[in-house]
Copies of this chain bind each other. A is one copy, B any other.
């Protein structure tokens, strides 16, 4: 078994260089005042396909052999990963099949199709997405691009952390706290590894949807836990059913504090990002901002880095966020 670490992330950065956006690290004095800390916001909503997911998908697909790519790839996803895999596959010139919950926002389904992928939907209340996806692996010899439980995917997501650490340094900041949205753990395991390498001892917070704290329970139990089937949240990008074993193994090496964000807190954070950062963030992408704004005692006076991980949100939900202020 390969060991996950900073070397894999550096390799990923070299592999995907020039194929992704170096997203900006934003800040706002008004936001700092509101949050009571110095807040550095990595705007991965501005990434290709509207979320960080293209980083891991590209790193995985570009690591395949030509023969593997010729057989095609398959991905299951609450939406952002599917769209990213579809785009990455198109770029690499291979066929992609995306397995999506029938409840995914329409924008996410449409976007997968726009990139030329085949879309297959399933019922998240009664079917397991991994089972649906694995059928294509077993029957058609496709390669699964897992949304998080794969070192190459985790390493790709970690490149956001490399950029974040470098940009913070260029701007003259020393990050002492890192707050990350967490679902399966792909983003958080990669970014924690990269940022801790640049700023050893950085304090780590993970944020999950209220009522869907599968990683918090996994870190407590020492094994990957699942959310009960039928758990619904507006933070759909963080609504995957289970925590990843490989991400859990990485995250377990750090003293991590777990927080959660409610639907209402995420909507409020979206409105704050609209007003003070001028960016469009989806509910799941705003979880870390919501956690910082709603748990000020953890962050007062600190230099806090967060990742706004996605911006794929329907107009109706965004308008709801703006009117909820």
Binding site for B on A (CB under 8 A): 21-24, 26, 30, 43, 45-46, 50, 107, 111, 114, 271, 274-275, 277-281, 311-312, 315-316, 318-319, 322-323, 325
- Contact (Cβ within 8 A) B318 A274: yes
Q: Given A24-B21, A24-B23, A30-B114: A107 and B275 within 8 A (CB)?
A: yes
For the residues of A in contact with B, the DSSP-based class is helix
- Cβ of B311 and Cβ of A315 under 8 Å apart? no
Q: How far is it, in angstroms, between the C-alpha of A322 and the C-alpha of B270 when the chains are bound?
A: 15
Could you list some 23 contacts between A and B, CB below 8 A? Answer: A21-B24, A21-B26, A22-B24, A24-B24, A24-B46, A45-B278, A46-B277, A46-B278, A46-B279, A271-B315, A274-B280, A274-B315, A275-B315, A278-B280, A278-B311, A279-B279, A279-B280, A280-B280, A315-B322, A315-B323, A316-B322, A319-B319, A319-B322
Closest to A46 in B: B278
* Chain B residue at minimal CB-CB distance from A45: B278
Closest Cβ–Cβ distance, residue A316 to chain B (whole Å): 8
Q: Are B311 and A319 in contact (CB under 8 A)?
A: no
Minimal Cβ-Cβ distance residue in B for A50: B278
Report Cα–Cα, A279/B311, bound state, in Å: 9
> Nearest Cβ in chain B — how far from A34, in angstroms?
11
Least distance between A224 CB and chain B CB atoms (Å): 31
Q: Contacts A43-B46, A279-B280, A315-B325 given; 14 further ones with Cβ under 8 A?
A: A23-B24, A24-B24, A30-B114, A45-B278, A274-B280, A274-B315, A275-B315, A278-B311, A278-B312, A279-B279, A280-B280, A315-B323, A316-B322, A318-B322
Q: Which B residues are in CB contact (< 8 Å) with A107?
A: 275
Quick one: which of B21, B274, B319 contacts A323, CB cutoff 8 A? B319
Cβ-closest 10 pairs across A and B: A278-B311, A315-B322, A278-B280, A319-B319, A45-B278, A24-B24, A319-B322, A274-B280, A50-B278, A46-B278
Query: What are the residues of chain B within 8 A of A21 when measuring CB–CB?
Result: 24, 26
